[in-house]
A and B are shown apart, each in its own frame.
Chain A
Amino acid sequence: MKRYVFLFIAIVLAAIYLFPLYWMYVTALKSGSDIFQYPPAFWPAHPRLQLAQVFATYQVDRYVWNSFVVALGTTFITVLLGTGAAYVLANVSHPLVTVALFAILMLQVLPPSLMVTPIFVAFNQLGLLEWPRFAVVLATAAKTLPFYIVLCRATFTQIPGELRDAALVDGNSRIGAFLHIILPLARNGILVVSTLVFLQSFGEYVYSRSMIATKELQTATVGLSSFLGANSNDWVGLMTYASIYVTPILVIFVLLQRHIVSGLTAGALK
Chain B
Amino acid sequence: MKSLTFGIAVVAFSATAAWAEPVTLQVWALDEPTHYTETLSREFEAKNPDIKVDIKIVNFGDLVNDAVRAVATKTAPDVTMIDNPETAVFSSRDLLLDLTPYVQASKVIHHDDFYPGPLANMSWNGKIFAISRGSNTIALYYNADMFKAAGLDPDKPPKTWEELYDAAKKLTDPAKSRYGLAFSAIATEESTFQFLPFAQTAGGNFDALNAPGSIRALQFWRKLLDEKLASHDVLIWRQNDATGSFIAQNAAMSISGPWELPALQKDAKFDWRVALLPVEKEGSPRVSALGEFNYAAFKTTKHPAEAFRLFEYFVSQAGRNWNEFGMLPSVQNAVANDPKWPAAYAVFTEQMKYARARGPSPVWPLISKAIQTAIQATLTDQTDAKTALETAQKTVDKVLTK
Could you list which residues of chain A lie within 8 angstroms of chain B, going by C-beta atoms?
A: 31-38, 117, 120-121, 124, 209-210, 213-215, 222, 225-226, 228-234
Q: How far is the CA of A34 from the CA of B66 in the complex (A)?
A: 35
Q: Is the CB of A31 within 8 A of B267?
A: yes
Can you give 27 contacting A-B residue pairs, CB < 8 Å? Answer: A31-B267, A32-B266, A33-B263, A34-B248, A36-B241, A36-B244, A38-B177, A38-B248, A38-B250, A117-B69, A120-B69, A124-B75, A209-B62, A226-B31, A226-B57, A226-B59, A228-B60, A228-B61, A229-B31, A229-B32, A229-B33, A229-B60, A230-B30, A231-B239, A232-B240, A232-B260, A232-B263
B133 contacts the other chain (Cβ, under 8 Å)? no
Q: How far is the CA of A121 from the CA of B75 in the complex (A)?
A: 10
B102 contacts the other chain (Cβ, under 8 Å)? no
Q: How far is the CB of B178 from chain A (nearest CB, A)?
A: 9
Given A33-B263, A33-B268, A117-B69, A225 and B248 touching (CB < 8 A)?
no
Q: How far is the CA of A34 from the CA of B267 in the complex (A)?
A: 9
B220 contacts the other chain (Cβ, under 8 Å)? no
Residues on A with C-beta less than 8 A from B263 are: 32-33, 232
Q: How far is the CA of A192 from the CA of B197 in the complex (A)?
A: 56
B73 contacts the other chain (Cβ, under 8 Å)? yes
Q: Which residue of A lies closest to B245 (CB)?
A: A36
Partner of A231, one of B62, B72, B240: B240
Given contacts A33-B268, A225-B59, 13 further A-B contacts (CB under 8 A): A32-B247, A33-B267, A36-B245, A37-B248, A120-B69, A121-B72, A214-B56, A222-B59, A226-B59, A231-B240, A231-B257, A232-B263, A234-B33
Q: Which residue of B lies closest to A117 (CB)?
A: B69
Q: How far is the CA of A226 from the CA of B293 in the complex (A)?
A: 17
Q: Is the CB of A209 within 8 A of B59?
A: yes
Residues on A with C-beta less than 8 A from B267 are: 31-33
B358 contacts the other chain (Cβ, under 8 Å)? no
Q: Which residue of B lies closest to A225 (CB)?
A: B59
Most buried by A among B66, B75, B177, B240: B240
Q: Tell me the chain B residues, 194-251 only, with Cβ under 8 Å from chain A.
A: 238-241, 244-245, 247-248, 250
B390 contacts the other chain (Cβ, under 8 Å)? no
B259 contacts the other chain (Cβ, under 8 Å)? yes
Q: How far is the CB of B234 from chain A (nearest CB, A)?
A: 13
Residues on A with C-beta less than 8 A from B59 are: 209, 222, 225-226, 228
Q: How far is the CB of A218 from chain B (nearest CB, A)?
A: 9
Q: How far is the CB of A247 from chain B (nearest CB, A)?
A: 24
Q: How far is the CB of A113 from chain B (nearest CB, A)?
A: 10
Task: Give per-residue flags for B46-58: 1 if the beta carbon is below 8 A from chain A beta carbons, else 0.
Answer: 0000000000110
B83 contacts the other chain (Cβ, under 8 Å)? yes
Q: How far is the CA of A38 from the CA of B247 in the complex (A)?
A: 12
Q: How far is the CB of A59 from chain B (nearest CB, A)?
A: 12
Q: Tell me the chain B residues, 17-62 only, with Cβ under 8 Å from chain A.
A: 30-33, 56-57, 59-62
Q: Which residue of B lies closest to A123 (CB)?
A: B73
Residues on B with C-beta less than 8 A from A117 are: 69
Task: Give per-residue flags for B283-302: 1 if the beta carbon is below 8 A from chain A beta carbons, else 0.
Answer: 00000000101000000000
Given A124-B75, A226-B31, A230-B32, A36 and B247 touching (CB < 8 A)?
yes
Q: Is the CB of A230 within 8 A of B60?
A: yes
Q: Is the CB of A33 within 8 A of B259?
A: no
Partner of B240, one of A124, A222, A233: A233
Q: How far is the CA of A228 from the CA of B293 in the complex (A)?
A: 16
Q: How far is the CA of A231 from the CA of B285 in the complex (A)?
A: 26
Q: Is the CB of A215 within 8 A of B83?
A: no
Q: Which residue of A lies closest to B77 (CB)?
A: A213
Q: Tell me the chain B residues, 250-276 only, with Cβ under 8 Å from chain A.
A: 250, 257, 259-260, 263, 266-268
Q: How far is the CB of A217 from chain B (nearest CB, A)?
A: 12
Q: Is the CB of B248 within 8 A of A33?
A: yes
Q: Which residue of A lies closest to B190 (CB)?
A: A231
Q: How far is the CA of A229 from the CA of B326 in the complex (A)?
A: 13
Q: How far is the CA of A39 from the CA of B136 in the complex (A)?
A: 33
